[in-house]
Amino acid sequence: NAGVTQTPKFRVLKTGQSMTLLCAQDMNHEYMYWYRQDPGMGLRLIHYSVGEGTTAKGEVPDGYNVSRLKKQNFLLGLESAAPSQTSVYFCASGTRRDTEAFFGQGTRLTVV
């Protein structure tokens, strides 16, 4: 009963390095989301996907790219990490528009 699984849970990057965060869900959900959480800011939507092969920009997409090649996976990429991308990243998945989203446990990323 895994739900939404994020990999890795912690990561430290140097400025300019690249990395990919993986989100996997086993609930056959159509919608998947990437959020970032910063103190006093709540969760802000980076990118989202409404189905396999489709992605769209959220509120704060700059500096990030995403891909959804398989329905169960949603990848978040940082091509050239910056200190401003230090944050906790949450992936979520959901289905019909009137139902809740299910969240992963988060990835704490520090860019030095």
Partner 1 sequence: AQSVTQLDSHVSVSEGTPVLLRCNYSSSYSPSLFWYVQHPNKGLQLLLKYTSAATLVKGINGFEAEFKKSETSFHLTKPSAHMSDAAEYFCVVRPGSNYKLTFGKGTLLTVNP
Positions that interact with partner 1 (CB under 8 A): 31, 33, 35, 40-45, 48, 50, 58, 90, 92, 94, 97-101, 103-106
Residue 15 Cβ vs partner 1, minimum distance, rounded to whole Å = 25
Residue 55 Cβ vs partner 1, minimum distance, rounded to whole Å = 12
**Residue nearer to partner 1 on the CB measure, 7 or 99:** 99
* Cβ partners under 8 Å of residue 96, min gap 6: none
Q: What is the rounded distance in angstroms from the CA atom of residue 55 to the CA atom of residue 40? A: 27
**Residue nearer to partner 1 on the CB measure, 17 or 71:** 71
Residue 23 Cβ vs partner 1, minimum distance, rounded to whole Å = 12
**Residue nearer to partner 1 on the CB measure, 14 or 96:** 96
Pairing of strands 10-13, 107-111: parallel
Report the Cα–Cα distance between both ends of the chain, in Å, rounded.
Answer: 36
> Structure tokens of 12?
């430290």
**Residue nearer to partner 1 on the CB measure, 6 or 85:** 6
Neighbour tally for 56: CB within 10 Å: 11
